[in-house]
C-alpha cells in the first residue's frame, strides 16, 4: 500500500503578505516616523492574523471507499481509470469535495471511523478478504497501521463496538461458503489483532436463484444500549442476534431466541435503530422494502412494512440499498437501486412507523451508500455505476432534499464517511 500526495503550494493568505502595497489605512499626514512604522506593523499583523486564523480553521475530511475492480453489470459506465483505493478529500464550504490524496489498496469498500476520530478501518472486499487499520493524524493525513485477514470472502461491512474494543466484520462471500461474522480485537495503538471469534453463515434460504444458495452476511449493527449485535443475513433471510460481553476474550454469544426471520426471498441488508432504541428499521434488498420493528428487551416485533419501488413490481426494480437516520432522528433516508435509482425520505411517526416516502432521483446509477457531513447539512450519495458522489442539501425541519449536483468524480465509489 502507498500514499500519493498532491504537490504543495503557497497559501494564498501568506502570498498576500509579500504582495501587500505600502499604503496605510490611516491618514499619515503630520505623523512621525515611529507612528507610521507602528501603523504599518499593525496593518501587517492584521493580514497575518487572518492568514493564521484561516490556517487554523478546521476542515472536515471525507473518506470515500471504492471497488478497485470494475463490476460486470450492464448498467456500469466504465471509468477512464479504475479506482486506486481509499480517497481522502476536503469538504469545501459549499459542500463540494476536493481530492487530497489516495491511499492505494484493494477494494476498500466500507469505512468505519472510531468515535475519537483517531483511527479508521476499511474492509477490503476481495476473494481473500482482509481488513485494514489506519491512523488519522492531527493534520487529517492517514497512515496504514496494519492489515489482517477477515476469515472470509468479500468483507462488505464492519461495525465497532460502542466501547471501541472490537471490530465486527460481515463477510458477504459471493460463492457459497466464506460468509459470516468475524470478531477482530482493537489494540491500544489502533492496530487490529487476529480474529478471536467467527460465526459462519452456511445455509441459505434458496428462494432467489443465484442469490440465496448460501448465507451472505451483509451488515452488523449494535442495539442502542450496546448489549446486542445483529447481523443481517441476506442469503438466509434472517437477522442473527448475539449478546455482547465485552470482558470476554470471545465477546459474542449467539442468542437464537432473539433472531428475526424474514419472508422467504426478502434479503435483509442493512439496519438502523431509532435514537432512543425503541424501534428498528431493516431495508431488504430483494423485497425492496423497509420493515419496522418495535424493540422490547432487545426482542424485535414486526410492526409494518413500506414498499420502496414506487409501484414497480419487477425483480429488476426491487433492490433496497442503504438506510440511515437524519441528524434529528425524525426521518429515515434510504436508497433504492435496480432500474429505479431513487432516494427516499420517510418521516417517522409517533408510533415509530415510517410514513409514505418522498422520492428523489439519485442523480446516478446504483446509489449504494449515504452519509451526512458532520454538520448534518449536506447529504452525500455514492453512485457506484456512474462513478460519482452526489451532493444534496437537506432540510431537517421539512424533511426535504435539494439536489446540488456532483460533489466529486470518483471511480466506483461504494461508501463515504466524515471526520474533522
Q: How confident is the model at residue 8 (pLDDT cuts 50, 70, 90)?
A: very low
pLDDT of residue 56: 38
Please write the tens of the pLDDT for every residue from 183-233: 999 999 999 999 999 999 999 999 999 999 999 999 999 999 999 999 999
Q: Are 50 and 87 found together in one domain?
A: no
69 φ, ψ to 5°?
A: -105, 155
Work out the average pLDDT over 261-287. Answer: 98
Cα dihedral 66→72→77→79 (10° resolution): 50
Q: Give the count of domains, the chain.
A: 2
Q: Are 384 and 312 found together in one domain?
A: yes
Q: Are 19 and 81 found together in one domain?
A: no
pLDDT of residue 22: 41
Contacts of 54 (CB under 8 A, 6+ apart): 11, 13
Which of 140, 112, 92 is CA-nearest to residue 377? 92
Cα distances (Å, whole numbers) of residue 45 to 29, 35, 42, 213: 22, 15, 5, 70
Grid cell in block for residue 391: 451532493
Which of 322, 175, 191, 181 is CA-nearest to residue 238? 181
Task: Tell me how far apart the alpha carbons of residues 225 and 256 are, in angstroms, rounded to a whole number.
Answer: 19
Contacts of 402 (CB under 8 A, 6+ apart): 392, 393, 394, 395
Q: Are 8 and 101 found together in one domain?
A: no
Residue that is last in its domain, among 54, 69, 94: 54
Q: Are 94 and 9 found together in one domain?
A: no
Q: Are 378 and 349 found together in one domain?
A: yes
pLDDT of residue 23: 45
Average pLDDT, the chain: 90
Q: Are 317 and 182 found together in one domain?
A: yes
The helix (H) or strand (E) run that includes residue 64 is strand 61-66
Contacts of 317 (CB under 8 A, 6+ apart): 288, 309, 338, 339, 340
Grid cell in block for residue 409: 468524480
Q: Is the pLDDT of residue 301 over 70?
A: yes
Q: Are 88 and 15 found together in one domain?
A: no
Please write the tens of the pLDDT for every residue from 302-356: 999 999 987 766 677 789 999 999 999 999 999 999 999 999 999 999 999 999 9
Contacts of 41 (CB under 8 A, 6+ apart): none
pLDDT of residue 250: 99
Lowest mean per-residue pLDDT among 33-42, 55-64, 135-144, 397-406: 33-42
Please write the tens of the pLDDT for every residue from 41-99: 554 444 444 444 344 345 799 999 999 999 988 899 999 899 999 999 999 999 999 99
Q: Are 118 and 139 found together in one domain?
A: yes
Please write the tens of the pLDDT for every residue from 239-256: 999 999 999 999 999 999
Q: Are 50 and 67 found together in one domain?
A: no
Q: Are 24 and 96 found together in one domain?
A: no
Grid cell in block for residue 10: 503557497
Q: Are 324 and 348 found together in one domain?
A: yes
In CATH, what number is assigned to the domain containing residue 275? Answer: 2.130.10.10
Task: Tell me how far apart the alpha carbons of residues 100 and 89 are, in angstroms, rounded to a whole number.
Answer: 5
Find the domain containing 72 and state its range.
59-419
pLDDT of residue 34: 61
Coil, helix or strand at residue 47: helix
Amino acid at each position: 500500500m502507498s500514499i500519493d500526495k498532491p504537490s504543495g503550494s503557497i497559501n494564498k493568505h501568506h502570498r498576500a503578505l509579500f504582495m501587500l502595497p505600502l499604503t496605510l489605512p490611516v491618514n499619515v499626514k503630520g505623523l512621525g516616523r515611529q507612528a507610521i512604522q507602528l501603523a504599518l506593523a499593525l496593518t501587517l499583523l492584521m493580514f497575518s492574523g487572518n492568514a493564521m486564523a484561516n490556517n487554523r480553521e478546521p476542515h472536515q475530511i471525507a473518506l470515500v471507499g471504492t471497488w478497485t475492480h470494475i463490476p460486470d453489470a450492464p448498467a456500469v459506465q466504465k471509468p477512464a481509470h479504475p479506482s486506486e483505493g481509499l480517497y481522502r478529500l476536503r469538504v469545501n464550504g459549499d459542500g463540494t469535495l476536493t481530492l487530497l490524496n489516495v491511499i492505494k489498496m484493494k477494494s476498500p469498500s466500507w469505512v468505519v471511523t472510531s468515535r475519537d476520530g483517531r483511527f479508521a478501518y476499511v474492509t477490503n472486499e476481495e476473494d481473500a478478504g482482509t481488513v485494514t487499520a489506519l491512523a488519522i493524524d492531527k493534520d487529517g493525513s492517514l497512515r496504514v497501521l496494519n492489515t489482517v485477514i477477515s476469515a472470509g470472502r468479500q468483507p462488505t461491512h464492519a461495525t465497532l463496538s460502542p466501547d471501541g474494543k472490537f471490530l465486527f466484520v460481515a463477510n458477504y462471500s459471493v460463492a457459497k461458503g466464506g460468509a459470516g461474522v468475524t470478531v477482530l480485537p482493537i489494540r491500544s495503538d489502533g492496530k487490529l489483532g487476529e480474529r478471536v471469534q467467527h460465526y459462519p453463515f452456511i445455509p441459505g434460504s434458496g428462494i432467489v436463484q443465484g442469490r440465496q444458495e448460501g448465507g451472505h452476511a451483509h451488515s452488523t449493527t449494535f442495539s442502542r444500549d450496546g448489549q446486542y449485535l445483529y447481523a443481517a443475513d441476506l442469503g438466509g433471510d434472517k437477522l442473527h442476534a448475539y449478546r455482547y460481553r465485552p470482558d470476554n476474550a470471545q465477546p459474542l454469544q449467539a442468542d437464537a431466541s432473539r433472531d428475526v426471520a424474514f419472508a422467504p426471498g426478502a434479503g435483509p441488508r442493512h439496519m438502523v435503530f431509532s435514537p432512543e432504541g425503541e424501534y428498528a428499521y431493516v431495508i431488504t434488498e430483494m423485497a425492496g422494502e423497509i420493515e419496522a420493528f418495535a424493540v422490547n428487551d432487545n426482542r424485535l416485533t414486526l410492526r409494518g412494512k413500506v414498499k420502496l419501488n414506487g409501484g414497480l413490481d419487477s425483480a429488476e426494480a426491487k433492490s433496497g440499498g442503504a438506510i440511515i437516520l437524519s441528524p434529528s432522528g425524525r426521518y429515515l433516508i434510504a436508497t433504492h437501486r435496480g432500474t429505479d435509482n431513487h432516494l427516499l425520505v420517510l418521516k417517522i411517526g409517533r408510533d415509530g412507523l415510517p410514513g409514505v416516502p418522498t422520492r428523489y432521483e439519485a442523480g446516478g446509477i446504483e446509489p449504494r451508500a449515504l452519509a451526512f457531513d458532520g454538520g448534518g447539512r449536506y447529504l452525500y450519495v455514492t453512485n457506484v455505476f456512474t462513478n460519482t458522489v452526489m451532493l444534496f442539501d437537506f432540510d431537517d425541519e421539512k424533511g426535504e432534499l435539494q439536489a446540488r449536483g456532483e460533489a466529486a468524480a470518483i471511480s466506483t465509489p461504494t461508501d463515504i464517511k466524515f471526520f474533522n
